[in-house]
Amino acid sequence: MATTTTLFAKEDIKVRVNAYKEFEVGGKKTDFIHVFGYILEGRTAEQKAKLSKNVVEVLTAMFPAVKFIAMSVDEFALAGYCNRQ
């Protein structure tokens, strides 16, 4: 999904899935998908909007019965990031 935006190389995308035992959406216990995207600082507002729109569109096609699908994109600073590499 994120690779279709051409903002990221496939090898730079990491995915983690969390299922929630307790949740509520609009006052009801109903299925939902919310993607939290964390990307390195420096992308434009338009690029972040393109990322969330593309991901939500693909998930909507994959899960048509899920009425609540959303994505939020947050940036992180390179100065505070470190990985094993």
pTM: 0.82
Per-residue pLDDT tens, the chain, 85 aa: give them. 777 778 888 887 888 888 888 889 889 899 999 999 998 898 999 999 999 999 999 999 999 999 999 999 999 998 998 888 7
Residue 68's DSSP bridge partners are: 32
Domain boundaries, the chain: 2-11+22-80
The per-residue pLDDT for 35 is 93
Q: Using the 8-state DSSP alphabet, how is residue 8 labeled?
A: S
The per-residue pLDDT for 16 is 86
Return the CATH number of the domain spanning residue range 2-11+22-80.
Answer: 3.30.429.10
Q: How many CB atoms lie within 10 A of CB 69?
A: 19
The per-residue pLDDT for 51 is 92
